[in-house]
Amino acid sequence: MKKYSVMIGLFLLIGSGMWSCSDSGEEPVVEIPDDPDKEEDNIRLKAKFDIGAAVTNRELSSAQYANTLRTHYSQITAEFEMKMAHIWKGENNYDWAAADEMVNFAQTNNMKVHGHTLVWYSSFPNWFKSANYDSAAFESRVKTYIERVVQRYKGKVVSWDVANEIFNDNGTLRSENCPVYQTFRDPIAFYGRCFAYARAIDPDAKLFYNDYNVVLASGKRGAMRQLVNRFQADGYPIDGLGDQFHYMVSTNRNTIRNGLTDMAGSGLLIHISELDIRVNVNREDDYVYLPSEQAKHAEAYRDIVSFYESIPQNQKFAITTWGVADNGTWLRDWWHPKEYPLLFDDSFQKKRAYNGFLEGLN
């Protein structure tokens, strides 16, 4: 009798965790968890465009991280492993190890790679900057660098940010600490030739110009429009524009929507390329990510995704988040330690922000 009593008790204990009953005597309701293999529960499966994440090799070594990534994302961007300073160690010295590891992970897991970034003012190696090359020598070496990198990953990297952050928010060219500006009389023509060098090596790769604050800064959008017009008039290839989308829950939604519509007016592919949304907007030391804050966060993700869905389908390239889980965000160093900007929490559990993203998808 004791044996059967134990078995009945276990049955009741297990059952109590699976069923919830109201005091009114209504039928019990089965609580069904999200199924990552169902389209309605998974952003990768529901989206009609690629869902990307910025990753590092250190994070990819975590089984939990890697499993979350391959389950919910279809594309990766190297956070730093594919930037110039991390690859180009000397004029004829290339360190491919980290970039190769990342690209191999993507191929093994049937994921795409967005290359980030070929030319960025902040990633020219110190040895290169100290050489004080004239414009001809400068361009010759950068051309060789672009050709070698794009050739190595031809057919493995589907797209490149060829140039990154060349404009100020008011639309003027970035001059401070920018080797290109300091070397060339016509920096835009130099950047155009960089796009051409990449296209000549891999005609199938999509080529992007990427920047931040694009949807907020009309001056920058105007400069980007002029760049596109100049490229097209002079025969330089360009396929898309990226806005990093490092914004806050308090960022004006109408401004975001109108700016994104304006970007799409270029007719090019549009990439939300580094999305994260800050919630601790005032950098408060006693900030708590309360349910009310989580709800605001979910609404922000829902709105941004829905704005993106409103642009023409043939211009939707991808939405990429700058990280996967909150414990890996750069914002805890740059902004505030109490920041929770991504779709997964520190334990890789879906947040309400993830559901907001889902709701924004068509």
Q: What band does 40 get if pLDDT is binned at 50, 70 and 90?
A: confident
Phi and psi, residue 147, nearest 5°: -60, -45
Q: Which residues form the domain of 59?
A: 35-360
End-to-end CA, the chain: 58
Domain annotation covers residue 15:
no
Domain annotation covers residue 103:
yes
Catalytic residue among 79, 139, 274, 339: 274
What pLDDT shows up at residue 16?
Answer: 41
Q: What band does 4 get if pLDDT is binned at 50, 70 and 90?
A: very low
Q: What is the pTM of this model?
A: 0.90
Domain annotation covers residue 139:
yes
Number of structural domains in the chain: 1
Domain annotation covers residue 283:
yes
Domain annotation covers residue 80:
yes
Domain annotation covers residue 259:
yes
Domain annotation covers residue 189:
yes
Instruction: Compute the C-alpha angle 106/67/244, nearest 5°.
Output: 60
pLDDT digit string (tens) for 159-211?
999 999 999 999 999 999 999 999 999 999 999 999 999 999 999 999 999 99
> Using H for helix, E for strand and C for coil, what is the string for the chain?
CHHHHHHHHHHHHHHHHHEECCCCCCCCEECCCCCCCCHHHCHHHHCCCEEEEEECHHHHCCHHHHHHHHHHCCEEEECCCCCHHHHEEECCEECCHHHHHHHHHHHHCCCEEEEEEEEEHHHCCHHHHCCCCCHHHHHHHHHHHHHHHHHHCCCCCCEEEEEECCECCCCCECCCCCHHHHHCCCHHHHHHHHHHHHHHHCCCCEEEEEECCCCCCHHHHHHHHHHHHHHHHHCCCCCEEEECCEEECCCCHHHHHHHHHHHHCCCCEEEEEEEEEECCCCCCCCCCCCHHHHHHHHHHHHHHHHHHHCCCHHHEEEEEECCCEHHHCCHHHHCCCCCCCCCECCCCCECHHHHHHHHHCC
What pLDDT shows up at residue 33?
Answer: 52
CATH number reported for the structural domain that contains residue 54 in this entry: 3.20.20.80
Domain annotation covers residue 171:
yes
Active site residue 274: yes
pLDDT digit string (tens) for 86-115?
999 999 999 999 999 999 999 999 999 999
Measured CA to CA in angstroms, residue 358 lies from 48, 122, 183, 305, 351 at distances of 12, 35, 46, 8, 11
